[in-house]
Amino acid sequence: MPDMTNTDKIIKEKKIGLFDSGIGGYSVLGELFKLMPEASYYYVSDDANAPYGPKSDEFITERSFNIAEELIAHGVELIVVACNTATAASIDLLREKFKGIPFVGVEPYLNAYYIMPEGLEKKMMVLTTESTGKSERFKRLKERLDPDSQIDHYSLKNLARLIEDYYYHPDHKDQFEKEFENELSFLKSHHYAYAILGCTHYPLVRERIEKLLDLKAISPCSHVAQRVVDLTTIKNESKVSGQVPSKFYNFLSTSNNLWIQKNRESLHGPFKGK
């Protein structure tokens, strides 16, 4: 579910910025490629400071400010905080500091339970990182959207890190599969029908989660991407301009601190089609 507060400015440029503590925000970026292929994308992976989970809100906010300044320097006119933890810690302060820039955040799709048709099996849980689960923003969100506590909540300590490590080390598949199952297997006996994915890393392994736990996973990423579309005029402009979509996106790893171009087709790495 996109965080939609204070994002009413309609933008006309074709430069969109995104950031996450790592590559979790690729789950949002992939949806944006589908909806707005003509846009130019600038993605910052703050892997020099990952994971954000154990970090303080103050540290995450400082990093978010620095990354926002970097993206703005490259001419982006909308920034997606493609990280649940950073959204919870800093999006209000980002909007306060950078008043001319719309920020779109990511929050767990907690109203999913209440919009489903009656009569369905709706036993549901939400999976988050430890940091998101402890945040006041998440607690307030759950109180507001799940006032009857119909959705169980579990914080996963290692899953985001496992996904990040496997992305860069796909040759460690056997180790990843073993640790992935160890991280989630305690949930098998609960027989949930749905799992809300409350970290942008998690949709990258959506099908694996569904298969292991025999349920349907719910991701907010397509809704976040649609919110970005709603805040731009890019679709109409592209029809007029006839601009050919780029094959690349712009990527910055804070470990290397150098902007490079990456091929869009390789976005999901070892998780493509998984």
Question: Of 200, 218, 236, which residue sits at a domain end?
Answer: 218
* Distance separating alpha carbons of residues 1 and 227, to the nearest angstrom: 9
**From the centroid of its chain, how far is CA 198?**
8
What does each C-alpha distance from 235 to 2, 55, 228 come to in angstroms?
20, 38, 11
pLDDT, one tens digit per residue, over 80-131 is 999 999 999 999 999 999 999 999 999 988 988 888 877 667 899 999 998 8
Judge if 62 and 133 occupy the same domain.
no
Judge if 255 and 175 occupy the same domain.
no
Given 1, 23, 36, 83, which residue is catalytic? 83
Q: What is the mean pLDDT of the chain?
A: 90
Measured N-to-C along each axis, helices 159-168 and 173-184 cross at an angle, to the nearest 10 degrees, of 170
Ramachandran angles phi, psi of 12, nearest 5°: -120, -10
Whether 221 is catalytic is: no
Helix-, strand-, coil-residue percentages of the chain, each rounded to 5: 45, 20, 30
pLDDT, one tens digit per residue, over 29-38 is 999 999 999 9
Judge if 123 and 211 occupy the same domain.
yes
Judge if 6 and 99 occupy the same domain.
yes
Given 1, 125, 199, 221, which residue is catalytic? 199
Ramachandran angles phi, psi of 272, nearest 5°: -65, 120
What is the model's pTM? 0.90
The CATH number of the domain holding residue 263 is: 3.40.50.1860
Judge if 92 and 148 occupy the same domain.
no
Judge if 83 and 11 occupy the same domain.
yes
Domain total in the chain: 2
Question: Of 175, 190, 218, which residue sits at a domain end?
Answer: 218
* Residue 47: pLDDT band with limits 50, 70, 90: very high
